[in-house]
Chain A
Amino acid sequence: MKKCNVLIVGAGISGLSIAYHLAKKGVNDILVVDQGYFTNGATGRCGAGVRQQWATTQNCLLAKASMEFFENAHNILDYDDLELKQEGYLIVATTLEEEAQFKENVKLQNSLGIPTRFLSKEEALKIVPHLNPDAFISATFNQKDGHLNPFKTSEAFYLAAKKLGVSFSFYEEVLDIQKEERNFTITTSKDSYQVNQVVNAAGGYSYEIGHMVGLELPVYSENHEILATEPVEKFQGPMVMSFSKNIYCQQVPHGAFLMGRSDPNVKKGHQVDSTVNFLREMSKTVVDLLPKIGSLRVVRSWGGSYNMSLDRQPIIGQTDIENFYVACGFSGHGFMLAPMVGLLLSEIMMGQQPSMDVDFLSLNRFKDKSSLHIEKSVV
């Protein structure tokens, strides 16, 4: 049996960021294991968007601090180009009710230092001229939101963590975790380990990993699909998004358009299939909102798991099992929040004062479900 100090389950963006932040604080002997290839899970399948326009204080603060990290990430992580493109998220309102909610969101975001503006239809059309003017009534816009390449960001964290002495093992699946008196015994498809601290950052499989130590984490997974078009010359700066129309759509620096929407009838589970239904509904939605994009060819579509929590906000911190920590339930937004997730969990694990209030991220909040603040700004 091998020994290690900290074993992190999952080498997605959260596991990578946690490993990096722990190692940076001087923690030795960290091993990150992942069941598949590099970025096989949700991180490598996500829509590559990073935004700070949220409807709850907590998500705004997490996202803002994470964006500050991304803005300096090429220096912090010593990586050439993460393809950060801050040309904004333009979120369109289609009903008066939605517009009223957006005005509240802007007020909240401004009060927290996020420079979102409320825009009339005419102002929005100046930023994205190919929007269908009959498909929306107003919009919100934050220039500081935008695009970040998930593969490059993962590689940057991976290389930085490795340089700090973190070990990685891919194609190694965790099969069993036993809590002993003083530590854990972890059995994988390749080996077994005696471990002091365990981090469950298993993304879509967080519930299963928690279950191995008897936890019933309040999360489940569901498939969310995306499609990509052929690359073309740049003609759209911001990510265009609508909650009511159920769409997000951006042109990445490479030139392709990426777009996604959720399926209200999707079944819980680990399937990540591509469906004809998604292709048809996505095409109709984008042709309605952004008609010009209709002429572009779809070259590929894929699916990935959202790990959903009850209030659509992350779960980060301790559990009832001593020295067993979780970072899960990101509900589709783990990539853009990863820097703060890594920092906060590393602080919690080392018994330091967290950089921001973490009560709202803790598992304890689910004990009284009536007090949950459900995040509405989710596609």
Chain B
Amino acid sequence: MSHKDIILCRCEDIDYQQIHEYLEQGFTTIEDLKRLLRVGMGPCQGSTCMHLIQKEIAKYLNVPMEEVSTHTVRPLIVGVPLSAIAGEDYEEM
């Protein structure tokens, strides 16, 4: 299978080849790849792709996977409509 056909980040449609192109340029952390390729910024916020990318970085650097730092987890954990958050305050009143 072509490396372009292996999708690592489904939200942003980023494939194996794109990840490796940036690894070759020296961007070998998840935080770098996130900003350059948007991996982990989609609706799933990295819950699908991050361990796959972690594995690719570990393989590339030839280090154990636990030495590859994960991305900063940002709130919220699941998507919540803005109006629901805005309305929260009215309920309190």
Residues of A whose CB lies within 8 Å of any CB of B are 36-40, 44, 151, 155, 228-231, 254, 274, 279-280, 282-284, 286-287, 293-302
Q: Does B76 contact A298, Cβ atoms closer than 8 Å?
A: yes
What's the nearest-Cβ distance from chain B to residue A47, in Å? Answer: 15
Known A-B contacts A38-B27, A299-B45, A302-B74; the reply to A294 vs B36 at CB < 8 A is: no
24 sample A-B contacts, Cβ–Cβ < 8 Å, listed by A number = A37-B29, A37-B31, A37-B32, A38-B27, A38-B31, A39-B35, A44-B35, A151-B36, A229-B82, A230-B79, A274-B75, A279-B75, A284-B86, A287-B86, A293-B82, A294-B81, A295-B81, A297-B43, A299-B45, A300-B75, A300-B76, A301-B75, A301-B76, A302-B74
> Which residue, of B27, B38, B79, B86, has the highest number of chain A Cβ atoms within 10 A?
B86
Give Cα distance in the complex from A354 to B27, angstroms.
36
Known A-B contacts A37-B29, A300-B41; the reply to A283 vs B79 at CB < 8 A is: no
* Set of chain B residues within 8 Å of A293, measured between Cβ atoms: 82
* Set of chain A residues within 8 Å of B75, measured between Cβ atoms: 274, 279, 300-301
Residues of B whose CB lies within 8 Å of any CB of A are 27, 29, 31-32, 35-36, 38, 41-43, 45, 74-76, 79-83, 85-86, 88-89
What's the nearest-Cβ distance from chain B to residue A124, in Å? Answer: 22
Total A-B pairs in contact (CB under 8 Å)?
80
Give Cα distance in the complex from A230 to B76, angstroms.
12
Known A-B contacts A38-B32, A230-B43, A297-B81; the reply to A280 vs B76 at CB < 8 A is: no
> Which residue, of A44, A279, A299, has the highest number of chain B Cβ atoms within 10 A?
A299
* Set of chain A residues within 8 Å of B83, measured between Cβ atoms: 283, 287, 294-295
- Taking CB as reference atom, which chain B residue is nearest A287? B86
Q: Does B79 contact A297, Cβ atoms closer than 8 Å?
A: yes
Q: Does B35 contact A280, Cβ atoms closer than 8 Å?
A: no
Known A-B contacts A37-B31, A37-B32, A38-B27; the reply to A254 vs B79 at CB < 8 A is: no
* Set of chain B residues within 8 Å of A37, measured between Cβ atoms: 29, 31-32, 35
Q: Residue B82 contacts which of A36, A274, A294, A302 (CB distance < 8 angstroms)?
A: A294
Give Cα distance in the complex from A300 to B42, angstroms.
9
* Set of chain A residues within 8 Å of B45, measured between Cβ atoms: 299-300
What's the nearest-Cβ distance from chain A to residue B81, in Å? Answer: 5
Add 20 more A-B contacts to A294-B81, A301-B75 (CB < 8 A): A36-B31, A38-B31, A38-B36, A44-B35, A151-B35, A228-B41, A274-B75, A279-B75, A280-B85, A280-B88, A283-B86, A287-B86, A294-B82, A298-B80, A300-B41, A300-B45, A300-B74, A300-B75, A301-B74, A301-B76
- Taking CB as reference atom, which chain A residue is nearest B74? A300
* Set of chain A residues within 8 Å of B41, measured between Cβ atoms: 228, 300
Q: Residue B85 contacts which of A39, A44, A298, A300 (CB distance < 8 angstroms)?
A: A298
* Set of chain B residues within 8 Å of A283, measured between Cβ atoms: 82-83, 85-86
Q: Does B74 contact A274, Cβ atoms closer than 8 Å?
A: yes
